[in-house]
Structure 1
Amino acid sequence: MGKLVVTTFVTLDGVYQAPGGPEEDTRDGFEQGGWSVPYVDEDFGRFVDEDFGRFVDEVFSRAGAFLLGRRTYDIFASYWPKVTDPADPVAGKLNALPKYVASAGLRDPGWAGTTVIGRDLAEEVTAIKERTDGELQTHGSGALVRSLFALDLVDTLHLLTFPVVLGAGRRLFPEGFEPVALRHTGGRITSSGVSVQSYDLAGRPRYGEFPLPENN
């Protein structure tokens, strides 16, 4: 069975909304979209932050299929099909590999290789994992990611934390999120200060307390 691997960007205060541009996601009047760009800005097809670019290359080299939420799918579908170089490490995989989009409203996806799912997320995603050779990867897709966590379908989380605090925007893990424990498996800090940390899921949190010292 393949692994379900989530890669997502957040700010230091946990915001995942609209990392890639001001018009990407303006829900709730959000006006600070594009907050990740200064840290990873591409220059003529190359990431200015080479450490970040190296991580992206590594992630996409392991992809076997993609599972996306509707909003992230629409953003990707408006951009990546226009990048036609098959040697591009991101576009080559996104355009060639199977894509699954969780949506109740999408009927006729225009991006080749796309299948719409959503009737029974647990059953359908489990079946996709079983038949995927390589990682089933989810990028962005905050609402879908929360559903995948709640269903215990996530195997690995790559959390990229950017050195910026916004004070507004949708949080990846809001109040009321199902508690989950994670085991740290590796990490790095890029030259622009992005913290790239990887975790495997480890069930539910354990709790304890610090006892008061005994009096001598």
Structure 2
Amino acid sequence: MGKIVISANATLDGVVQDPDGQEGLESGGWFHRFVERKDLDDWVVNETAEVLAAEVLLLGRRSYEWFASRMPDAEVRVSPEWADRMNNIPKYVVSSTLDAPGWNNTTVLNGDAAKEVSELKRKVSGEILIYGSYQLARTLMEQRLADELRLVVFPVAVGAGQRLFDETSDPKPLHLTATRKIGDGLALHTYEFKRA
């Protein structure tokens, strides 16, 4: 059985929305504005190791489109190893509106998200990595399908924007399994979701 791993970047006050500033939020663009170059270089090393360890990538439609539109020049901007893995890893996108995915190795899951992802979890034996996709992540946490949360915390509080746990119906107990610095300013917290 697969292990669903949510990998998210968040501000100190928990905002996950508009990290690159392209959604137009006044508080957006925090990903690059409040860290040093070394922090981002070490973040790339961490993300590369993470995607290399994953068996498949699972995305919501908006995150899928964001990544797919940037992959042609990701080798230059991020790293060749990360870009190669992102382009070649099997990808699953949860969407009721995406008909013809243009990014290679992509399968569209267009039914009930919880049911489709449960089936994927039964088929996969390794890590099912979720990047971005905070609405999908919320759904999977609500349905108790998520197994692990890897949260990279950026050293800024922005005050406004959607948070990963904005719409939870009940407490979500987690167990901290690891904490480490990335660069000089980022903190990576790894949690397991506790099962009742």
For normalisation by structure 2, the TM-score amounts to: 0.88
Aligned to 1:22: 21
CA gap of 1:40–1:117, structure 2 versus 1, over 3 A, is farther
Structure having the higher helix fraction is: 2
Instruction: Give the unaligned 5+ runs of structure 1.
Output: 42-46, 205-216
Aligned to 1:88: 80
Cα distance, 1:176 vs structure 2: 4.3
1:196 correspondence with 2:188: yes
- Which digits, 9 at most, give the CA deviation of each residue in 1:170-190, with x for residues without a partner? 111115443111111111022
Are the counterparts in 1 of residues 2 and 121 from structure 2 also a CA contact under 8 Å?
yes
**Bigger relative contact order, structure 1 or 2, given CA contacts below 8 A and separation 6+?**
2
1:83 and 1:55 mapped to 2: Cα distance? Answer: 16
Are the counterparts in 1 of residues 4 and 129 from structure 2 also a CA contact under 8 Å?
yes
Amino acid across the alignment from 1:156: E
Aligned to 2:53: 62
Cα distance, 1:83 vs structure 2: 3.9
Q: Which moved more, 1:67-76 or 1:176-185?
A: 176-185
Are the counterparts in 2 of residues 101 and 115 from structure 1 also a CA contact under 8 Å?
yes
Matched position secondary structure for 2:57: strand
Aligned to 2:135: 143
Instruction: Give the unaligned 5+ runs of structure 2.
Output: none
CA gap of 1:75–1:55, structure 2 versus 1, over 3 A, is same
Are the counterparts in 1 of residues 39 and 182 from structure 2 also a CA contact under 8 Å?
no
Are the counterparts in 1 of residues 43 and 182 from structure 2 also a CA contact under 8 Å?
yes
- Considering only aligned residues, what root-mean-square deviation do their CA atoms show, in Å? 2.1
Aligned to 1:213: none
Amino acid across the alignment from 2:5: V
Alignment of 1:1-216 (within 5 A): 1-19=1-19, 21-23=20-22, 25-26=23-24, 30-38=25-33, 39=35, 41=37, 49-83=40-74, 88-174=80-166, 176-203=168-195
- The structure whose Rg is larger is 1
Number of residues of Structure 1 aligned to a counterpart in Structure 2: 193
For normalisation by structure 1, the TM-score amounts to: 0.81
